[in-house]
């Protein structure tokens, strides 16, 4: 996914949908965190992980909000279909999934070049041949 393209699509989406300033701010913070954990491909593209973890405290510190406000913003994003969330267990951070706004974005398993592992990433339809991790 592209940060700027996704931001552009969000602005179009906002023409017909409403978000509070808090929920919009949280979406932007989550976009930055998701962008920071993107994976590079051999072709130079960056693929965003479908799921990523962020501690509540980290988000609260950035948004200068309480845990109650954070939960309200998160629920708002979930209700409008922009976010999925799985609560962390055993003191671990929750797992977030930003729902892409851009059309033709699909989740794919990305094979790692140096191991048998795979990572679920967002990619554009029709780009499978470019999906190899850099060494």
Give the CA distances from residue 5 to residues 60, 74, 79, in Å, rounded to whole numbers and listed in that order. 26, 22, 23
pLDDT 10s digits, 17-26: 999 999 999 9
135 pLDDT higher than 60: no
Could you tell me the domains of the chain? 3-130 (1.10.10.10)
Which pLDDT score is estimated for 20? 97
Residue 88 CB partners (closer than 8 Å, separation 6+): 53, 94, 95
131 pLDDT higher than 50: no
What CA–CA distance (Å, rounded) separates 50 from 37? 10
pLDDT 10s digits, 72-130: 999 999 999 999 999 998 889 999 999 998 777 878 887 777 778 888 888 777 654 44
What CA–CA distance (Å, rounded) separates 74 from 91? 19
């Amino acid at each position: 996914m592209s940060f700027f393209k996704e931001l552009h699509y969000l602005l179009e989406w906002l023409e017909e949908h409403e978000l509070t300033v808090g929920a919009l701010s949280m979406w932007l913070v989550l976009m930055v965190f998701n962008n920071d954990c993107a994976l590079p491909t051999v072709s130079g593209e960056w693929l965003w992980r479908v799921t990523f973890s962020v501690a509540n405290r980290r988000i609260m510190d950035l948004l200068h909000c309480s845990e109650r406000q954070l939960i309200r913003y998160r629920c708002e994003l979930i209700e409008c279909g922009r976010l999925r969330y799985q609560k962390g267990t055993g003191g671990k951070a929750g797992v977030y999934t930003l729902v892409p706004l851009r059309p033709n974005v699909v989740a794919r398993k990305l094979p790692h070049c140096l191991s048998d592992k795979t990572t679920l990433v967002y990619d554009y339809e029709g780009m499978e041949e470019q999906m190899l991790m850099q060494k």
